[in-house]
Amino acid sequence: MSSQDQNPQTMPDEKGFFGPYGGRFVPPPLEPPLEELTAGFLKYRADPEFEAELAREYQHYSGRPTPLYHAERYSEHLGFRVLLKREDLNHLGAHKLNNCLGQALLARRMGKKKIIAETGAGQHGVATAAVAARLGLECDIYMGEEDMRRQSPNVTRIRLMGARVVPATSGDRTLTAAVDEAIGAWVAEAETAYYLLGSVVGPHPYPLMVRHFQSVIGREARAQVLEQFDRLPDLITACAGGGSNAIGLFHEFLGDDSVRMVGVEAAGSGVDTDRHAATLTTGKPAVIHGMNTYCIPDDAVTHEGSHCIAAGLDYPGIGPEHSYLKDSGRVQYEAVTDTEVLAAFATLCRLEGIIPALESSHALAYAEKLKGTLDADSLVIINLSGRGDKDMDEFMLRLAEKDAASAAGVPGHGKGAFC
Amino acid sequence: MILEQTTREFRTAGRKALVPFVTAGFPDEATSLALIRAAGETGCPVVEIGVPFSDPVADGPVIQQASQRALEQGMTLRRAFDAVTAAREHGAQPVMMTYLNPILRMEPATFAREAAQAGCAGVIVPDLGFEETGILRPVLADEGLALIDLAAPTTPDDRLARIAGPAAGFLYLVAVTGVTGTCSPVAEQLAAFAGRVRASTDLPLYAGFGIDGPARAVSSAEACDGVIMGSALLRCFLEESDSAAGLERARTLLIETRQALDDAWGGIEI
């Protein structure tokens, strides 16, 4: 599990390694379809027609380029200039579509008739169902039975767009079961089906490919900041669960040595508790989900268990490129707690009239910590990876808890996260 | 290596091997040890001992469920060595099936040494791609253990030839395109696949995935030197109300399958 020292911009190597991380650790039946996928991706990535087709979809279907918005009142609050990369303004309200569009177009070019994907909270399933509908491809979304119950509005959205939701009934009936059953289905019909993975994780070529499709974020942001401010930012930051929106923003800036980069993980209830998803902050390398990468340890045999307020960050591993960028020191990784996230979320809502996703609010919570450390001229780009409409149930629950607590006169609860 | 000696002798005797897959600690530790004993008494030359793992990507629902139950009861890689020792005591060569991560956690050299001490003869690591076998094969070989390679029907010929080169013990043929225990092999397709593999190696070939009973064992063994039965055995415990009844049913399945193979290839009396 090693490869020669490489330039971060030319990684991974041909076997999918970012230094010691990444690779392809899969059973033999999965190797041929992954080989076919790698060949297909490398072929069309370099095809100007494919590139033009994708650019058209980004513009007309998803609404790109997304604005790089100078949030003036929020900047005043923080004491430095903040630019929000508005990925929440993509069709469906998140950066997820960048990747889904790219992979679905690739699937069609490769002659596949059907898209298979797994989904946990349902966001990736919705985005995948949308692109499948857009391109007239059959679509099966595997979802744990338990998740289907908890996320029933997303089940409805997926079905409305013509996809089939296949309940995963094994194991804990959540994301892990959905992944295993979806992969099983893919292996059995790999000739005609395409597996659309939602983040920069899993076996090669997914971390490379998903980065490729998400790096449109950083390409736009870099051009926009140069155009608007005639200089590079001092710091760029994004939340990192699997890490696709962060890689998407960071990749284009890797060669700009003056730009500090910070990935923000979910500390959940705190990194010293057993309820968090701060993989790089607390974990160590392990082989999971077909890759070698940092992973939250639990006991000697298994790995499991991550928790935080944002379902999209609730993942015990992280994309292998992040593991490499951490070790190399090029990117700094920090963790913020649920409480800090909710406070930052509320601040942005109030100061800018923008309701961010709880995932994206992790990056905002980190920005709060920079208060007083940067001068007023500093330029900071925060990736606002998604909108918060999907999180309304969680907010209503928290508000109800807060109201109940203040009605009961519990000390210390009068000034909760929403104040 | 002792494993390859066993598999080759079994073939030379004109018999087809029946290799049961037993998840260590499922349905409970004592019963899994009893099933291993039954396998030895039934004349299984090799027993595959599955180390439960939380993310078994190569396994179908039955083995996943078995893994989860075993993990919940505290089964670990180290505790699974007891099952290995039990198999050896009952006359079968134990082969451990474990995903890569638990081995890395223990350190490959430590794992190899402790596995050898427990009496292990070979190791199957389903998520260790052939390109990465260098991290494990040499340290296992130092302890006299074989790393069992897997091949799938979709594996291209040139890759089969590369896999066959260093392979030892037996070659594991993934008989279907899918995960374990979800669909069953078709005899003609398996024959064609085994034929392609035989062009690269004369190692004994054992077919697994989807061997659901005596009839399928016989039709699948036609083209190979043995069959591996996992989900069908473990299902006995999932479908019976208590582990004693499950054990009885699994034991019967083993005996009937062994008998069917011997009837077809003129083996000796059990």
What digits encode the pLDDT tens for the residues A85-96? 999 999 999 999
Beta bridge partners of A22: A17, A292
Last residue of a domain, one of A190, A211, A232: A211
Q: Catalytic site residue A258?
A: no
Marked catalytic residue, from B4, B29, B48, B149: B48
Last residue of a domain, one of A188, A211, A234: A211
The mean pLDDT value for A265-281 works out to 89
Same domain, A184 and A292: no
Contact list in A for residue B151 (CB cut-off 8 A) is 28
Angle, CA of A202, B51 and B76, to the nearest 5°: 100
- Sign, CA dihedral A296-A277-B62-B172, equals negative
Sheet holding A17-18, edge to edge: A17-18, A21-22, A291-295, A284-288
Is the pLDDT at A383 greater than 60, yes or no? yes
Same domain, A399 and A258: yes
Are the beta carbons of A301 and B76 separated by less than 8 Å?
A: yes
Query: What CATH code is carried by the domain that includes residue A287?
Result: 3.40.50.1100
Please give the pLDDT value at position A419.
35
- The minimum CA-CA distance between B108 and chain A, rounded to whole Å, is 13
b/e map A190-223, b = 16+ CB within 10 Å: beebbbbbbbbbbbbbbbbbbbbbbbbbbebbbe
- Quote the pTM value: 0.90
Please give the pLDDT value at position A325.
97
Is the pLDDT at A408 greater than 80, yes or no? no
Name the pLDDT band for B180 (thresholds 50, 70, 90): low
Interface test mutation site (partner B, options A287, A301, A304, A306, max chain B beta carbons within 10 A): A301
User: Considering only alpha carbons, which residue of chain A is nearest residue B160?
Assistant: A28
Please give the pLDDT value at position A303.
44
* pLDDT tens figures, A242-254: 999 999 999 999 9
Name the pLDDT band for A28 (thresholds 50, 70, 90): confident
Q: Could you tell me if residue A372 is inside a domain?
A: yes
Please give the pLDDT value at position A392.
85
Q: Could you tell me if residue A271 is inside a domain?
A: yes
Please give the pLDDT value at position A288.
87
Same domain, A347 and A238: yes
Q: Could you tell me if residue A415 is inside a domain?
A: no
Please give the pLDDT value at position A300.
34
Please give the pLDDT value at position B268.
55
> Any idea of the CA torsion for A188, A194, A200, A206, to the nearest 10 degrees?
80
Q: Which domain holds residue A250?
A: 68-92+215-407
Are the beta carbons of A184 and B55 separated by less than 8 Å?
A: no
User: Considering only alpha carbons, which residue of chain A is nearest residue B80?
Assistant: A301
Same domain, A292 and A152: no
Give chain A's domain count: 2
Name the pLDDT band for A305 (thresholds 50, 70, 90): low
Contact list in B for residue A176 (CB cut-off 8 A) is 54-55
Q: Catalytic site residue A2?
A: no
* pLDDT tens figures, A95-150: 999 999 999 999 999 999 999 999 988 999 999 999 999 999 999 999 999 889 88
The CA distance from A245 to A224, in Å, is 17
* pLDDT tens figures, B187-230: 888 999 999 999 999 999 999 988 999 999 999 999 999 999 99
Are the beta carbons of A300 and B78 separated by less than 8 Å?
A: yes
Contact list in A for residue B77 (CB cut-off 8 A) is 300-301
The CA distance from B101 to A240, in Å, is 23
Instruction: Compare CB distances from B127 to A1, A171, A287 and report the shortest one's residue.
Output: A287
Averaged pLDDT of chain B: 92
What residues in chain A have their Cβ under 8 A from chain B's Cβ atoms? Answer: 1, 15, 23-33, 169-172, 176-177, 179-181, 183-184, 187-188, 190, 286-290, 299-304
Are the beta carbons of A27 and B56 separated by less than 8 Å?
A: no
Contact list in B for residue A184 (CB cut-off 8 A) is 60, 178-179, 182
A283 touches A304 (CB < 8 A) = no
Q: Catalytic site residue A138?
A: no
Are the beta carbons of A32 and B152 separated by less than 8 Å?
A: yes
The CA distance from B177 to B183, in Å, is 9
Token representation of residue A280: 């790089």
Same domain, A231 and A369: yes
Give the least confident one: A335-344, A396-405, B211-220. Answer: A396-405
